Structure 1
Amino acid sequence: MKIDNHNTDQAVLAELGRRLADYRLQRHMTQAQFAEAAGLSKRTVERLEAGESVQLVNLVRALRVLEKLDGLDRFLPDAPANPIDLLERHGKVRQRARPDARDEDEESQPWRWGDET
């Protein structure tokens, strides 16, 4: 099944669970072995594969064991820069604060107490 916006939430979860189980089986792992490798309980793996609701961190742990975590970067890439922000910053270079011109003049003069006339 292709996952898209037309699927119900439950259908998407069920499909993700089926795919996780397929990848686990390709690695010749039992649910208990997979759970231990991911730091999860066997019951959590059962819930994942059944398409039941679990904490997001459990999905991340499962994907890490399957070496599929990098797929999340393709799944939800960084948002592109806002074009308006880019236009506002275009041509503007951040400038450092420059010392006060008066300070520069004073540094070039020899030091005095200030009470001389």
Structure 2
Amino acid sequence: MRIDNLLSDDAVIAELGQRLAALRLARQITQAQLADAAGISKRTVERIEGGASTQLTNVIRYLRGLGAVGLLEGLLPPLAANPIDLLEGRGKRRQRARPSATEEPAAAWVWGEDK
């Protein structure tokens, strides 16, 4: 199944669980062996592969137990620097998002004799 924006969160988690289980089986590792190598419980391995919601740290430990943490690099590769920014010497990494532009409130109207 292809993972895209049309799938529900539960469907994405279930698909990831199936893919992780297939990866484990392709490496001829039992759930118990993986749990021991990853430092998580066998029940956590079962939950991940069964498509149950879990903490991201458990998924990272699962991948570490398989020796496959590097697969996360393909999930969100680092953004390349913008060539225009490099030319202008603005190669600094962004620290925060720019706030939306807000207009200054107009000064309160005052009667001519009140000035």
Whole-angstrom CA distance in 2 between matches of 1:13 and 1:82? 33
Q: Larger deviation: 22-31 or 44-53?
A: 22-31
> Which residue in 2 is equivalent to 1:32?
32
Q: Which residue of 1 aligns with 2:79?
A: 79
2:103 maps to which residue?
Answer: none
SS in structure 2 at match of 1:60: helix
Following the alignment from structure 1 to structure 2, what is the Cα–Cα distance between the partners of residues 88 and 29? 52
Alpha-carbon offset, residue 72 of structure 1: 1.1
Unpaired runs of at least 5, structure 1: 91-117
Long gaps (5+) in structure 2: 91-115
Spell out, residue by residue over 1:15-61, the C-alpha distance to the aligned partner (whole angstroms, 9 max, x if none): 11011111212222221111111100011111101111111111111
Give the deviation of 1:88 after TM superposition.
3.8
Equivalent residues of 2:34, 2:66 under 8 A apart: no
TM-score by structure 2 length? 0.68
Secondary structure of 2:22's partner?
A: helix
Q: CA deviation at 1:69?
A: 1.6
Query: Secondary structure of the residue that 1:52 maps to in structure 2?
Result: coil
**Greater gyration radius:** 1
Q: Give a deviation string over 1:82-106, Cα, whole Å, max 9, x none.
A: 456435416xxxxxxxxxxxxxxxx
Identity percentage over the alignment?
59
RMSD (CA atoms): 1.8
1:48 counterpart residue number: 48
Paired residues of 2:35 and 2:65 also in contact (CA < 8 A): no
How far the C-alpha of 1:66 sits from its partner, in A, is 2.0
